[in-house]
Structure 1
């Protein structure tokens, strides 16, 4: 049996290699950016380990031995799940590997934005005279409301952290209800209400058809002028052009973004020139521990399938 890495996201693959070889499975590491290259590299593969390259219907239907596609990550928008399901191929992910890291990163961006740490740092390093009043308003955490867009595992973890330091938390998630409100001491509200009432919005939505550009021009017309918006989920959940316009016109206070519509971020992206924006390079998921967990769980998902069982985590049913 053979497993092929479709595109390289790591410097080393020793953890996966050890797990797979212990189960009689060969690991082939390749790095491809086109359909034809993937098809050639994986023509006799039983499984794929996928990071960022798109696994399309054409690829899936061109690999006759394929039984499982294992995604390095929580999201699986790189894979044509419908095509995989039609061909009885498991699509797996690792939904729990970086819950602490992403919630910590989102919290860090929220606190840094609210306390205006970056502009303070920048002005002082430029040798400019500065005092706290120059950056007013800066408000107490317990006077502010954070609106969480989607209330999955990461948002739930973040919710507890925010509440512990005084923030009021509300959330929008059409798939949650009274139980989540009771368990987490929050109010679930319609998206429009969340937009109107939040001082900070933190986005945690997966990227699906219904969430593409969920936060766009019309949504940004509803928010407070003092709003900070944080995104550690998927870039295209925000209409980036609409966000840039709102930031340039000072219709919102700022943004803190770990993800972008096009990654890596284009050197000409106007976000890079805005002083009311904090940017990180899609790094929220990362810690030494989370990467180790991700790699081992992605490999074990494949082993479970190729040994005749079902993966611990999978996203399609047939």
Structure 2
């Protein structure tokens, strides 16, 4: 496998390899690398062998989907930094990176407005059955029964699971629409009844009270399948689930069963356990699900910021300046 050289480097210049990326242009990354005197290459490597081939002399990696495992790290002796396009770093073995002195960076705040906007859009679309109504109109049906009962926003409870930057922004927007907002976060101070202006409740109480449950947690060992069959059963059958965090936070099979069995009203899902979603997947056959292709992060503004800052993180670490966006097992 070969890599395309986007910015040639002088002899001895640091090398940054974009391991894989499905973006349509790389002007922002090129500008950062050129200003820093760094050689920048673009590949589409996902497997261990492909990664070791294209990044054998890399000082830094910029990663979208590729898994950076201990084996990969061991095969890249010059590597000093892994910088990921996005917030989540579940594709990087943080413990292995730390043990080998490799910094890991993300861009934790680039998509706050975009993702929170998308979460609200999914919540309203799923709650009011808008996608289903649209399909009906296109097929010549003017019908109410398909989406009854629809409740109003005012007086409904919008529950936010995870009160980081995006969770806080989503809570504020939901409150502005007239929802009663409720939250839960394991990082909230013990005994607190409110955090970041959001009233708090226990995990199970949040599930029981939610009319809309919006997920904003990272994917870790502790949050993998955080919502499974037992947890989904605690939700009201009239509730709507929105996930713009990580697909693995929800047990997809349990979600499909709850939606198909009438134990959950609807869902708006942007992130998936398998991406892209396989053709014919059970979720795609359900009328009460709104699906988007992991693009909640996207606006033109956030897109440009993400690309620039991801490469800048790598450049800063290689230059010895460090980065404000270092990720460890403790702060992920």
Q: TM-score if structure 2 supplies the norm length?
A: 0.92
Tell whether 2:275 aligns with 1:267: no
Q: 134, 138, 160: which is aligned to 1:148? A: 160
Q: 100, 103, 106: which is aligned to 1:90? A: 103
Q: Match of 2:267, SS?
A: strand
Tell me the CA shift for residue 79 of structure 1. Answer: 0.7
Where does 1:65-214 land on structure 2 (aligned, <5 Å)? Answer: 65-131=78-144, 135-177=147-189, 181=194, 183-184=196-197, 186-214=198-226
CA deviation digits over 1:192-214, x for unaligned, max 9?
A: 11111111111111000010000
CA deviation digits over 1:106-163, x for unaligned, max 9?
A: 00011112222122212222112324x6632211211210111111100100111111
Which consecutive unaligned segments of at least 5 residues does structure 1 have? none
Tell whether 2:33 aligns with 1:4: no
Q: Match of 2:183, SS?
A: strand
For residues 142 and 310 of structure 2, the distance between their equivalents in structure 1, rounded to whole angstroms, comes to 51
Cα gap change, 1:134/1:14 in structure 2, threshold over 3 Å: closer, same or farther? Answer: closer
Tell me the CA shift for residue 105 of structure 1. Answer: 0.2
> After TM superposition, what 4+ stretches of structure 1 lie above 4 angstroms from structure 2?
none
Who is 1:221 aligned against?
Answer: 233
Which consecutive unaligned segments of at least 5 residues does structure 2 have? 1-13
Who is 1:60 aligned against?
Answer: 73
Q: 35, 39, 44: which is aligned to 1:31? A: 44
Higher helix proportion: 1
Greater CA drift, 211-220 or 170-179: 170-179
Q: Match of 2:222, SS?
A: helix
Greater CA drift, 89-98 or 140-149: 140-149
Task: Say how many residue pairs are matched.
Answer: 316
Who is 1:19 aligned against?
Answer: 32
Who is 2:8 aligned against?
Answer: none
Tell whether 2:46 aligns with 1:50: no
